[in-house]
């Protein structure tokens, strides 16, 4: 039952990610990549509940799982696009493969070493968050978890700034957005788990979901940075994408309901 529930959560996570990504990108690159995040998240969610045994079958556990799977899917997919996938980059304003000031590092020993370094940094950060949260602190749990979530959000912000800032400029508000929102969500998730690493991952996942929702709904006609200034080659999808808005809103409604029921459950 736990694995079935995790699969459902993974499908919801993947559909949420695929929908905001499609809404921005389909007019430029078509609809063909919509299933990718759904498949990846559907694989990750059962792995998480297998590797991290805890009582996931509750509103609080499933909401936490949603955020954790969201962060893991985004991390895995972005790592794949930066270091594994090899495709023509001229269609992008900001290269999607790893680059230094716009110069793409081609596949080879250098890119492999950089990829290994990136993976090591993320793993060490995860270990540090777990270590700090498990050693105890005089700070309130919600505050400690919020700070740990901010660490995860800061790592995301640093990666984004390294990739985007040399091309589109550096914005202080944009840089601190991820650490602040990830910290808030990690604090909100603190009643749902004793594990700081899970709360931090969940905070990062929900911060991405929130930021991308804001950019998608409030600036629907502004292309994502990678397609800035590029022509719309699939204009028919400007209308097709609107059909997915009710589905996207429904997933958010389920998540919000899960938060409410989760708080009711932990307080009762």
Mean pLDDT of 115-131: 89
Whether pLDDT at 137 is above 90? no
Give CA separation, 262 vs 59, 143, 154, 254, in Å.
5, 19, 27, 12
| Whether residue 46 has pLDDT greater than 80 | yes
- What's residue 225's pLDDT? 64
Can you read off the two tokens belonging to residue 172? 């202080």
pTM for this entry: 0.90
Of residues 77 and 166, the one with the higher pLDDT is 77
- Please enumerate in sequence order all residues whose Cβ is within 8 A of that of 160, keeping only pairs 6 or more positions apart, or say none: 175, 178
Distances (CA, A) of 20 to 27, 177, 203, 267: 12, 18, 19, 34
Q: Is the pLDDT of residue 133 over 90?
A: no
Q: Are 37 and 251 in contact (CB under 8 A)?
A: no
pLDDT higher than threshold 90 for residue 208: yes
* pLDDT value at residue 92: 66
Residue 261 has pLDDT above 70, yes or no: yes
What pLDDT was estimated at residue 39?
A: 96
pLDDT, tens digit, 9 for 90 and up, residues 11-41: 999 999 999 988 888 888 888 888 999 999 9
Asked if the model's pLDDT at residue 100 lies above 80, the reply is: no
Alpha-carbon separation of residue 186 from 20, 25, 199 (angstroms): 22, 29, 5
The pair of structure tokens assigned to 206 is 């929900």
More confident residue, 161 or 19: 19
| Closest CA relative to residue 267, chosen from 191, 209, 216 | 191
N-to-C CA span, the chain: 24
Mean pLDDT of all residues in the chain? 87
Q: What is the pLDDT of residue 90?
A: 67
Taking 70 as the threshold, does the pLDDT of residue 9 lie above it? yes
CA dihedral sign of residues 171, 174, 178, 180:
positive
Say which residue, 231 or 74, is predicted with more confidence: 74
Euclidean distance between CA atoms 158 and 135, whole angstroms: 27
Q: Please say if the pLDDT value at position 95 is more than 80.
A: no
pLDDT at 97: 74
Q: Give residue 231's pLDDT.
A: 77
Place 134 in a pLDDT band, splitting at 50, 70 and 90.
confident
Q: What is the distance between the alpha carbons of residues 217 and 19, in angstroms, rounded to a whole number?
A: 12
Looking at residue 228, its pLDDT comes to 65
Residue 125 has pLDDT above 70, yes or no: yes
pLDDT band at 207 (very low <50, low <70, confident <90, very high): very high
The answer on pLDDT for 51 being more than 80 is: yes
Mean pLDDT to the nearest integer, 196-220: 91
Assess whether pLDDT exceeds 90 at residue 1: no
């Amino acid at each position: 039952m736990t694995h079935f529930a995790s699969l459902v959560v993974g499908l919801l996570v993947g559909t949420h990610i695929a929908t905001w990504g499609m809404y921005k990108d389909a007019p430029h690159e078509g609809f063909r990549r919509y299933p990718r995040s759904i498949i990846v998240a559907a694989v990750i969610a059962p792995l998480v509940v297998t590797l991290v045994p805890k009582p996931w079958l509750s509103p609080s556990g499933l909401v936490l799982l949603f955020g954790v799977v969201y962060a893991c899917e985004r991390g895995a997919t972005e790592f794949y696009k930066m270091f594994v996938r090899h495709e023509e980059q001229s269609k992008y304003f900001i290269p999607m493969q790893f680059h230094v000031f716009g110069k793409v590092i081609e596949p080879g020993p250098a890119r492999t070493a950089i990829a290994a370094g990136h993976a090591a940094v993320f793993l060490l950060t995860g270990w540090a968050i777990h270590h700090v949260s498990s050693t105890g602190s005089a700070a309130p749990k919600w505050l400690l978890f919020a700070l740990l979530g901010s660490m995860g959000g800061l790592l995301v912000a640093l990666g984004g700034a390294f990739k985007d800032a040399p091309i589109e400029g550096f914005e202080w508000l944009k840089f601190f957005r991820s650490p602040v929102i990830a910290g808030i969500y990690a604090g909100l998730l603190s009643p749902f788990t004793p594990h700081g690493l899970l709360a931090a991952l969940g905070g990062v996942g929900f911060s991405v979901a929130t930021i991308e929702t804001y950019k998608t709904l409030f600036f629907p006609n502004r292309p994502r940075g990678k397609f800035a200034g590029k022509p719309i080659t699939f204009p028919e999808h400007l209308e097709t994408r609107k059909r997915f808005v009710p589905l996207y809103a429904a997933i958010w409604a389920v998540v919000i309901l899960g938060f409410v029921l989760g708080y009711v459950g932990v307080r009762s």
